[in-house]
Amino acid sequence: MRVFKFGGASVKDASSIKNVYDVLQKVGFDDVLLVVSAMGKTTNALEVVIKNYFDKSAELKASIQEVKKYHNQILLDLFEDEKHEVFTAVNRHFTDMEYFLGSNKSPNYNFVYDQIVGYGEIVSTSILSYYFNHSGIKNQWVDVRNLIKTDNTYRDAIVDWELTQKTISKNIKKSVLNITQGFLGSDENNFTTTLGREGSDYTAAIFAYCLNAESVTIWKDVPGVLNADPRYFENAVLLNQISYREAIELAFYGASVIHPKTLQPLQKKEIPLYVKSFVNPLLPGTSVSKGADLEPQTSCFIVKKNQLLISLSSIDFSFIMEENISAIFGLFHQYKIKVSLIQNTAISFSVCIEDKFNHFNELKAALSKKFKVTYNENVSLYTIRHFTDKAVQMVEKDKTVLVKQMSRETMQIITKE
């Protein structure tokens, strides 16, 4: 079995969905499992719904209507008959979502987030499944929440691999096209959980691992894995082949093409990963597989914007030693703060962090009880794999360098624009 993943950009409107249909016609769809994200910017739109719900905003109904209107237009563009059962099916999903908002008693933001935001994937895959059946590609629609079982860490759930293996093996039919959702799972009480933002790649890897898949292909609007994000760097080049190790390094440092969790299950079973273009599906793209000889021969650039650089110093000029560092990282874990760079001296400790759950103020208050806390907001973290002097000079040009750190293969530079 092959596993294909299509992201939001590949199903953003009716013409995009028709393009996915054409891609499958060109590359084949027998014995394929399709993992699909929410359409376009639906996840962002549902986040607005969630915000309005918690703010008790008068805009709540309007924000829900915007999401429904967007999907209804796609339906109208795909299906000539407005009495087609897909309209009823999609409306039923949105009715379920509105029922939850009207009956929920939990004040837990992360719990509510997962129950609502997942409807983006549920609706997108429903539309795709109905359209494919309507157009001659018979398929099985599968609710991933019945298959990927997790703990109840809402918004960043941890997979129960043993139970997930059993449910996937039991429910996925071979020799047919299966269509399911990325990003989602469910806990022991069958409440929806999510695997972290951009977690659909990880979903594809979970299925591949549990099904001993032949390969995983991530279909993107770029020709493959590039050595740099073309939004920030000119003359980005395609990496034809890279090793699991290199891909994991790039993902760890924040490369946006491959989700950080995706590669580990694939590497365990040596399942090759391909990153290909849904615009030109017959081009080879990038392959990720085993082999130390697959290291890039060019520098690779990764940039993470809107980071925080925090510097801690001891109030009484005592050394910041193992016990202090352990307590600091305990707080990072408690407030779900991702650390991207560490640098310390005898009496100071600096970290570059990403505050995706908006917990920094709480973290700062906790740290201030023991340390003097200074920080820089909106800094950029540049990582250069296989760096050269020329590559470093290009990154540093016209910027204020706050921190620079170097290892054998990697240089990280924190800058203020």
Known binder of ligand: residue 231?
Answer: yes
Helix (H, G, I), strand (E, B) or coil at 36: strand
Which residue, chain included where needed, has tokens 């995983």? 216
CA 339 to chain centre: 17
Known binder of ligand: residue 121?
Answer: yes
Q: Which residues pair with 372 in a beta bridge?
A: 313
Structure tokens at 217: 């292909």
| Strands across the sheet containing 2-6 | 139-141, 177-181, 32-36, 2-6, 215-220, 273-277, 286-289, 241-243
Known binder of ligand: residue 155?
Answer: no
300-314 and 348-354: which strand pairing?
antiparallel
Known binder of ligand: residue 43?
Answer: yes
Query: What is the distance between the alpha carbons of residues 126 and 39, in angstroms, rounded to a whole number?
Result: 11
Known binder of ligand: residue 2?
Answer: no
Query: What is the distance between the alpha carbons of residues 372 and 360, in angstroms, rounded to a whole number?
Result: 15
Query: What is the distance between the alpha carbons of residues 36 and 2, in angstroms, rounded to a whole number?
Result: 14
Nearest to 211 by CA among 262, 248, 249, 265: 265
Query: What is the distance between the alpha carbons of residues 2 and 31, in angstroms, rounded to a whole number?
Result: 7
Q: Are the CB atoms for 234 and 279 separated by under 8 Å?
A: no
Known binder of ligand: residue 8?
Answer: yes
Binding site, by residue number, is 5-8, 43, 121, 231
Binding site for substrate, by residue number, is 43, 121
Binding site for ATP, by residue number, is 5-8, 231
